[in-house]
Amino acid sequence: MRLGATLPSTTTKVNMDIEPGSSIPRKRVNSTSTADAEERQAKRLRVTGESNSKERSNATKQQKGPEITKGILTRAAHPPIQTSRSVYTYERLNQIEEGSYGVVFRAKDKQTGDIVALKRLKLDEEKYGFPITALREIHSLMQCRHENVVRIREVVVGDTLTQVFIVMDFIEHDLKTLLSLMPNPFLQSEIKTLTLQLLRAVAHCHSHWILHRDLKTSNLLMNNRGIIKVADFGLARRFGDPVEILLGVETYSTPIDIWSVGCIFGELILHEPVFQAKNELEMIGMIFRLLGPPTVEEWPEYESLPLVKTLNMPAPHAPTLRQKFSYLTSSGLNLMASLLAYDPERRISAEEALKHLYFQESPLPKHPDLFPSFPSLAAGEKRRKPFASPSAPERAKAKEEYDYV
């Protein structure tokens, strides 16, 4: 470099090194020009972009199912799609019941001999494809596999598109029919066992983000081993819903099922429904008489509900739970009041109810194996008549006396 030469506009460091055996210094230039820095930055970005592109490509390949490798079609680890079996693999034994959305039969698997419940969906008058109620029920039963939820086995089809059947485990009784036919109500220890099983099922459903919305004794099945099974997930009727829905609430959550649990708990104790009303207005009046009219202190959002202004509110009075459930202990009444609390935010959860003191006091819950068995109407069984006690032996008649001449 000549002395007096013009330096570039960018910074350049010049170091003078002397080569071995030479007295002439050698220049070593370390340039940090902006152009070089931008080029190195662009190179790093290109390398990073290529790396990210490869990662995205690998992730895309992992998400894809079938993949062609050397002309051979390979498949990812997904279960193969199987066709539904024919309904004719089952032999129908008798009809159990018929509802608005389906007909339930008792059937026998011809291959295994298992007795199952076969529910035929009513699709003859369906205009908009497969009914949402059936889809909801199938999906919910598949998601909520639990000891106290009825188990779905498969879906079978008939000869036409309107012949679709859900195959479930056969359970001997529904609780509503059983309550109407039992000569004596359940014992307190048995009521505790049934209520605990129901709470476990509800807690399991809620943990899987599923609301039943139609819990009642006719949707609770019970086998001859004292096990409760929650069924009928596809129906959601407004009649008999909790008080917040009766008063016009449009958004709701898990507390609506807890209210239903409280009604079932009361029905098991009373041996009859807690609220026997003909319409929703009468139902609201019965709720107010049992629990007392709601106040802002116990339900802050009460006055803002849509239908409150249309009601003629009764005079304030205390709840009548003690008079209605006279045989319940103080802990039992506390549980009942917690299940039927007006404010959904203050209503007890299923997990909390399982730990309630009521289930820990005497009498303790009875083991399901110790429950009595009953004849199953669904299986066509009839109640056996009690054996007649043998009549007492008649007193021996005195021998006739004859006069012999």
State pLDDT tens for residues 121-152.
Answer: 888 766 777 777 788 778 888 888 899 999 99
Q: Give the domain-ending residue among 150, 169, 188.
A: 169
A 10 A CB-CB count for 284 gives: 17
Same domain (yes/no): 118, 225: no
Instruction: Give residue 208's pLDDT.
Output: 87
Instruction: Give residue 3's pLDDT.
Output: 41
For the cut 80, the answer to whether the pLDDT of residue 94 exceeds it is yes
- 251 falls in which pLDDT band (50, 70, 90)? confident
A 10 A CB-CB count for 186 gives: 20
State pLDDT tens for residues 277-320.
Answer: 888 888 999 999 999 999 888 888 888 887 887 888 788 888 99
CB 308 within 8 A of CB 302: yes
% of the chain exceeding 90 in pLDDT: 40
For the cut 80, the answer to whether the pLDDT of residue 23 exceeds it is no
For the cut 90, the answer to whether the pLDDT of residue 222 exceeds it is yes
Q: Find tokens 């014992």 and name the residue.
A: 187
For the cut 80, the answer to whether the pLDDT of residue 398 exceeds it is no
The mean per-residue pLDDT over the stretch 96-100 comes to 81
- Collect all residues with Cβ–Cβ distance below 8 Å to 215 and sequence separation of at least 6: 198, 202, 230, 257, 260, 261, 264
Same domain (yes/no): 181, 328: yes
Give whichever of 8-12, 240-244, 347-351 has the largest mean pLDDT. 347-351
SS3 98: strand
Asked whether residue 57 is domain-assigned, the answer is no
Strands 152-157 and 102-109: unpaired
Same domain (yes/no): 91, 181: no
Among 10-24, 44-58, 124-138, 185-199, the minimum mean pLDDT is found in 10-24
Q: Return mean pLDDT, the chain.
A: 78
> What distance in Å separates the CA atoms of residue 167 and residue 111, rounded to the nearest whole number?
14
- 114 falls in which pLDDT band (50, 70, 90)? very high
CB 378 within 8 A of CB 223: no
Q: How many CA atoms lie within 13 A of 85 on its CB side?
A: 12
> What distance in Å separates the CA atoms of residue 354 and residue 201, rounded to the nearest whole number?
11
Instruction: Give residue 388's pLDDT.
Output: 53
Token couple for 298: 């116990």
Among 56-70, 166-180, 241-255, the minimum mean pLDDT is found in 56-70
For the cut 50, the answer to whether the pLDDT of residue 238 exceeds it is no
Instruction: Give residue 232's pLDDT.
Output: 81
- 16 falls in which pLDDT band (50, 70, 90)? very low
State pLDDT tens for residues 34-82.
Answer: 556 666 666 565 555 555 555 555 544 444 445 555 555 555 555 666 7
Question: Using alpha carbons only, how large is the chain's radius of gyration in Å?
Answer: 38
For 345, counting Cβ atoms within 10 Å of its Cβ (0-12 exposed, 13-18 middle, 19+ buried), the class is exposed
> What distance in Å separates the CA atoms of residue 370 and residue 224, rounded to the nearest whole number?
10
Asked whether residue 297 is domain-assigned, the answer is yes
Instruction: Give residue 377's pLDDT.
Output: 82
Q: Give the domain-ending residue among 110, 136, 169.
A: 169
Among 100-114, 259-273, 304-318, the minimum mean pLDDT is found in 304-318
> What distance in Å separates the CA atoms of residue 337 and residue 289, rounded to the nearest whole number?
14
CB 246 within 8 A of CB 208: no
Instruction: Give residue 161's pLDDT.
Output: 80
In the chain, how long is the greatest CA-to-CA distance?
183
Buried b (16+ CB within 10 A) or exposed e, 201-222: bbbbbbeeebbbbbbbbbbbbb
Query: Which of the following is catalytic: 174, 214, 232, 241?
Result: 214
Same domain (yes/no): 207, 292: yes
Instruction: Give residue 57's pLDDT.
Output: 52
- Collect all residues with Cβ–Cβ distance below 8 Å to 132 and sequence separation of at least 6: none
Same domain (yes/no): 349, 322: yes
Helices (H) then strands (E): counts for the chain: 10, 12
Asked whether residue 79 is domain-assigned, the answer is no
Same domain (yes/no): 165, 177: no
Same domain (yes/no): 266, 137: no
Instruction: Give residue 102's pLDDT.
Output: 82
241 is catalytic: no
Beta strands in 102-179 (DSSP E): 102-109, 115-121, 152-157, 164-169, 173-174
Q: Which residue has the higher pLDDT, 98 or 110?
A: 110
Instruction: Give residue 80's pLDDT.
Output: 65
- Global confidence as pTM: 0.71
Cis peptide bond prior to 363, omega within 30° of 0: yes
Same domain (yes/no): 113, 189: no
User: Any idea how long the chain is?
Assistant: 405
Same domain (yes/no): 182, 124: no
CATH at residue 216:
1.10.510.10
- Collect all residues with Cβ–Cβ distance below 8 Å to 77 and sequence separation of at least 6: none
Question: How many domains does one find in the chain?
Answer: 2
Instruction: Give residue 349's pLDDT.
Output: 96
- 199 falls in which pLDDT band (50, 70, 90)? very high
DSSP 8-class letter at 362: S
Asked whether residue 119 is domain-assigned, the answer is yes
A 10 A CB-CB count for 74 gives: 10
Can you give the residue range of the structural domain that contains 281? 173-370
Strands 164-169 and 152-157: antiparallel
CB 203 within 8 A of CB 194: no
- 248 falls in which pLDDT band (50, 70, 90)? confident
Same domain (yes/no): 177, 122: no
Buried b (16+ CB within 10 A) or exposed e, 106-143: bbbeeeeeeebbbbbbbbeeeeeeebebbebbbebbee
The mean per-residue pLDDT over the stretch 176-192 comes to 91
